[in-house]
Amino acid sequence: MKRKIILIDEDKCNGCGLCTGGCPEGALEMVDGKARLTKEFYCDGLGACIGTCPQGAITIEEREAPPYDETAVIANIAKQGKEEIEKHLHHLKEHGEVLYYKEAAEWLEKNGIEYEKETPASEIACNCPGMKMMDYVGDEPESKEDTGRQSAQLRQWPVQLHLVSPAAPYFKNADLLIAADCAPFAYPNFHGDFLKGKALVIFCPKLDDSHDAYIEKLAEIFRHNNIRSITIARMEVPCCYGINMIVEEALKKAKKKVPINDILIGIGGILKG
């Protein structure tokens, strides 16, 4: 699969070894006087080791790599003691990695290993305000008294597919709207006609070179939630058809069958059937 993973510049690496201590997951080792990524499936691609390198030799790239294995990672970290367990769990919480945190917690509990239960996994979110998970389901939109203005129907945050968590509560038993980035701007009644009562994710298959990542993220959403229906709101331009292919591949990967309603919007804001 294509995913984010660390890259070590061997020319910059001076062999100090500080990064290996900054990687409790055990993905890095010193080999022939240089830091090496020896266990790719231990690397979560979040870059905790970057700040430990005084030479700036570590960066993050996106490439084909084996899937990250949280179960193997937490089993390895557990051998290092409680302090390393807490450090790893805190690392996952800081980056909003809800599913990895949940997987680690379940493994620890299954194996009778104690850990500090600070935050329920479903409430974990990144410290970045733009990525803070917010669920407005059940809240009534503000009333508009004869102003002719539409009521806002957005019931969650964030909405970008890159940023949403597959374990977010607003995906549970949801009708899901998957929209092209441009759709809400092109279609004036987007909130009332399409968004009302639905969870939302948006992305652009043309500008974002992340189709594999999109397929994997949607597949995770489909796997972990009982999605009742999918509405695709896309533009009439050919590149937007990529959304349909991404959704179909994600459903296939998740081994799910969900009814799909495909809505085509013209660039002039008129429905195309």
pLDDT at 137: 58
Q: Does domain 2-64 have CATH number 3.30.70.20?
A: yes
pLDDT at 261: 96
Q: Is 19 exposed, middle or buried (0-12, 13-18, 19+ CB in 10 A)?
A: buried
Exposure on the CB side of residue 164, measured as CA atoms within 13 A: 28
Among 1.10.260, 1.10.3470, 3.30.450, 3.40.50, name the CATH number for the domain at 130-139+151-265.
Answer: 3.40.50
Phi, psi of 262 (to 5 degrees): -100, 120
- What residue spans of the chain are helical by DSSP H? 18-21, 70-78, 82-94, 98-110, 183-186, 190, 211-224, 242-254
| Spans in the chain with pLDDT lower than 50 | 120-129, 131, 143-144
C-alpha 51/C-alpha 239 separation (Å) is 39
Cβ-contact 79, 35 below 8 angstroms: no
* DSSP codes of every residue in 138-160: TPPPPP--SS-PPPP---EE--B
- This prediction's pTM: 0.56
> Long-range contacts: 7-11, Cβ < 8 Å, 24+?
7/58, 7/59, 7/60, 7/61, 8/34, 8/35, 8/36, 8/37, 8/57, 8/58, 9/57, 9/58, 9/59, 10/34, 10/57
C-alpha 96/C-alpha 121 separation (Å) is 9
Quick: pLDDT tens for 172-221.
999 999 999 999 999 999 999 999 999 999 999 887 666 888 898 999 99
